[in-house]
Amino acid sequence: MRTLLRGRVRGMSSATGAVLIEGGIVTWVGEGTPPDHPDEEIVAEAGELIAPGFIDLQVNGYGGHDAATGPAAMTAISAALPATGVTAFLPTLISAPVHEGAAFVAATEAAAFGAPGARVLGAHLEGPFLNPAFRGAHPAAFLTDATRENEDVIAAARPRLVTIAPEVPGALAAIARFHREGIVVSAGHTGADFELGRRAITAGVRFATHIYNAMPPIHHRQPGIALAMILDPRVTVGLIADGEHVHRAVCEQLVRSKASSRIALTSDQTSAAGMPPGTYQLSSRQVISDGLVVRLKDGTLAGSAASMDALVARMAGLPGMTVSRAIGMASTVPARLLGEHGLGRIGVGACADLVILDPNLKVRLTMVQGLIKFRR
């Protein structure tokens, strides 16, 4: 089956581009008609854009389903996310006992086989090696030190991404080991200062979980770990650009000081995302959503209800930003962080995980492996 998408393609200056898909892979990109005529042709309308599918590194839940409950919930999330342009994601677990974290990784691997919509790329364990003073919505009872025993459990489970506070006892050794073993290590929920942040990067930190949130603010005499993450070109930072977690002006400052190729839009979605305002679950905690942000009963931020396409649209509207750069933050950047060379781009040999966005950057069509998973 050969499918041709025709229209304006991200990365091409012409409005008459086309992408040929065969067997779930992009086999030709150009203008006009490909050498092999397609069996099906899908034409983007005027003002629409063909772009790489989005990749979300932090999805606790979606559509009333909490990823912590197991493979069935992850499967339901996979089926729902293409409506937001997401074609791949990391199910995410907030702090839990280490053996429960290992079980979550196994559940994620089970959900990856036969995922009906967005690809399940592995687990993101957000904790439990976090600073209690910066725990946010994480249960204090589950936070623990990065002892060698705990480190062994997580390393054996092999999550795709782990969030650690570098100041937790044993954290620097755990960071170095996880990095050596190919696990992406992120700094987050941390009170570390600038110098410790630099040491953590040397040890192997390559990501910052929801930059600015759950870490000390940047001060001109005490810049803190956030600035260490922003200044180092080896580090990609996760940004929840919903207007609540990070002010619009600070988002603008970030893209001026950090290359957009090192900023990954992340939703930090909970089960409240894609649902009306109300009360929902975040792992073992009850949270309240107003339709955009999610909080504990005491008002503590506990994730987001924003969609990835909405985050892209917000970023594209910043001064000096372009639609192409904003799309890259949701596709190319996270793909590169994870080493997924076939994702996050449009080119010969790339996976046919694609979206068609309307002029308002709303998703009209989403394909995963060349198959339509959402159409509006």
Question: Could you tell me if residue 188 is inside a domain?
Answer: yes
pLDDT band at 38 (very low <50, low <70, confident <90, very high): confident
pLDDT band at 16 (very low <50, low <70, confident <90, very high): confident
Residue 295 structure tokens: 């909080």
Fill in the amino acid letter for 228: A
Question: Could you tell me if residue 351 is inside a domain?
Answer: no
| Whether 232 is catalytic | no
Query: Cα separation of 223 and 226, whole Å?
Result: 7
The pLDDT of residue 36 is above 80: no
- Verify that 60 and 198 share a domain, yes or no: yes
The closest of 165, 208, 169 to 190, measured between CA atoms, is: 165
Question: Could you tell me if residue 179 is inside a domain?
Answer: yes
Instruction: Look up the CATH number of the domain holding residue 11.
Output: 2.30.40.10
User: Domain total for the chain?
Assistant: 2
Question: Could you tell me if residue 345 is inside a domain?
Answer: no
Mean confidence (pLDDT) of the chain:
96
- Verify that 93 and 38 share a domain, yes or no: no
- Verify that 42 and 183 share a domain, yes or no: no
- Verify that 11 and 66 share a domain, yes or no: no
Q: Model's pTM, two decimal places?
A: 0.97
Buried b (16+ CB within 10 A) or exposed e, 157-175: bbbbbbbbbbbbebbbebb
- Verify that 34 and 120 share a domain, yes or no: no
174-199 tens-digit pLDDT: 999 999 999 999 999 999 999 999 99
Peptide bond into 128 cis (omega under 30): yes
Catalytic residue among 56, 66, 193, 268: 268
- Verify that 41 and 62 share a domain, yes or no: no
The closest of 333, 297, 294 to 312, measured between CA atoms, is: 333
Instruction: Look up the CATH number of the domain holding residue 307.
Output: 3.20.20.140
The pLDDT of residue 333 is above 80: yes
Helix 98-112 with 71-80: angle, nearest 10 deg: 50
Model pLDDT, residue 89 = 98
The pLDDT of residue 32 is above 90: no
The closest of 180, 15, 119 to 342, measured between CA atoms, is: 119
Query: Cα separation of 49 and 325, whole Å?
Result: 13
CB atoms within 10 A of CB 300: 14
The pLDDT of residue 37 is above 80: no
Query: Cα separation of 78 and 116, whole Å?
Result: 6
Question: Could you tell me if residue 84 is inside a domain?
Answer: yes
Model pLDDT, residue 34 = 83
Which domain, by its residues, includes 268? Answer: 53-340
- Verify that 45 and 57 share a domain, yes or no: no
Question: Could you tell me if residue 293 is inside a domain?
Answer: yes
- Verify that 275 and 306 share a domain, yes or no: yes
- Verify that 25 and 73 share a domain, yes or no: no
Question: Could you tell me if residue 258 is inside a domain?
Answer: yes
pLDDT band at 315 (very low <50, low <70, confident <90, very high): very high
Query: Cα separation of 185 and 330, whole Å?
Result: 19
- Verify that 264 and 149 share a domain, yes or no: yes
- Verify that 125 and 220 share a domain, yes or no: yes
Question: Could you tell me if residue 316 is inside a domain?
Answer: yes
- Verify that 44 and 60 share a domain, yes or no: no
Task: Show the 3-state SS of the chain.
Answer: CEEEEEECECCCCCCCEEEEEECCEEEEEEECCCCCCCCEEEECCCCCEEEECEEEEEECEECCEEHHHCHHHHHHHHHHHHHHCEEEEEEEEECCCHHHHHHHHHHHHHHHCCCCCCEECCCEEECCCCCHHHCCCCCHHHCCCCCHHHHHHHHHHCCCEEEECCCCCCHHHHHHHHHHCCCEEEECCCCCCHHHHHHHHHHCEEEECCCCCCCCCCCCCCCHHHHHHHHCCCCEEEECCCCCCCCHHHHHHHHHHCCHHHEEECCCECCCCCCCCEEEEECCEEEEECCCEEECCCCCEEEECCCHHHHHHHHHCCCCCCHHHHHHHHCHHHHHHHCCCCCCCCCCCCECCEEEECCCCCEEEEEECCEEEEEC
pLDDT band at 64 (very low <50, low <70, confident <90, very high): very high
pLDDT band at 15 (very low <50, low <70, confident <90, very high): confident
The closest of 200, 252, 203, 262 to 231, measured between CA atoms, is: 262
112-159 tens-digit pLDDT: 998 999 999 999 999 999 999 999 999 999 999 999 999 999 999 999
The closest of 336, 334, 329, 304 to 240, measured between CA atoms, is: 304
